[in-house]
Amino acid sequence: MRQSMIDMVHEIQDEICDALQQIDGVDYRQDEWLREEGGGGRSRVFSDGLVFEKAGVNVSVVYGTLSQEAAQSMGGGHELKGKDLDFFATGISLVLHPRNPMAPTVHANYRYFERGDGEKDGSWWFGGGADLTPSYLFEEDAKHFHAVLKETCDLHELADYDIYKKWCDDYFDIKHRGERRGIGGIFFDDVNGAPKADCFKFVSDCAKAFLPSYLPILERRRNLPFTEEQKEWQQIRRGRYVEFNLVYDRGTKFGLTTNGRIESILMSLPLTSRWEYCHEVEAGSEEDRLLQILREPKDWLAD
């Protein structure tokens, strides 16, 4: 399973980066890095392209021994003690930040984890998900993104879109702001309640669904006109993105506590962002419309 997952995430990284190259008109920078404690990764980052201010697609394959701090940052109720602190983890993580404020930021992450030798019950699991973070709300985009994810979940008996959708809304909650980071998607962890091969197939299908879920949205929005005020709003929303990733995100905490490569861990942050003191939006504006959804998540696929 370790090798199957390694092969899959590298294949998906190639597929996504090939598509982004064609869209963005620039090549990516690739860094292959090693981790002193064991393993390494391959980071690919696009900067200052035609479409993306910054976009990164990372793969990591790491192993070693967890500190108690790193074990606690994993969440998921895992009790890691003694020899169970030995671990193996691999996954793909991507974040795309478009230039145009009408085009949404998107994030996806799919991973596999083992503790010990991965043979005991509960010693292995899959996790991941994908979520959309617009600055301006287009309902057809939200419905498309969620529909592709639901169709993928519905192909697998072990998956439940409704549970994963709520999990996503709850996870990407900027608690100190009282709002979600975006309009959600799916999020899941500790997937191990079916045969390992079935869990792997589900996660593989989710990873393959990324491009169909996002590229049609990007194509609709990448060339729309926008004002300087709308660009400033995008910068403020990016500030919220930074706040979540640095304060709450478990993946960031896990990377920092396992001596991961700092440039790869913080690749998810936008190239530019903005914080205005006591910023307020006009009631009834498009900005306010987005905020209402971020405060009260919506079922995008309800009839």
Q: Give the tokens for residue 270.
A: 């936008």
Task: Give the separation between CA 71 and CA 85, rounded to whole angstroms.
Answer: 8
Assess contact for 61 and 90: CB atoms under 8 A: yes
DSSP 267: G
Task: Give the separation between CA 194 and CA 197, rounded to whole angstroms.
Answer: 8
Which residues, 6 or more positions from 250, have their beta carbon under 8 angstroms from its beta carbon? 73, 74, 75
Burial (CB count within 10 angstroms: exposed 0-12, middle 13-18, buried 19+), residue 193? exposed
Task: Give the separation between CA 142 and CA 213, rounded to whole angstroms.
Answer: 10
CB count within 10 Å of CB 196 equals: 15
Catalytic annotation present for 107:
yes
Q: What is the three-class DSSP state of 171? A: helix
Task: Give the active site residue among 97, 107, 144, 146.
Answer: 107
Q: Give the tokens for residue 246.
A: 């640095």
Assess contact for 103 and 85: CB atoms under 8 A: no
Task: Give the separation between CA 96 and CA 263, rounded to whole angstroms.
Answer: 16
Looking at the annotation, which residues are catalytic? 107
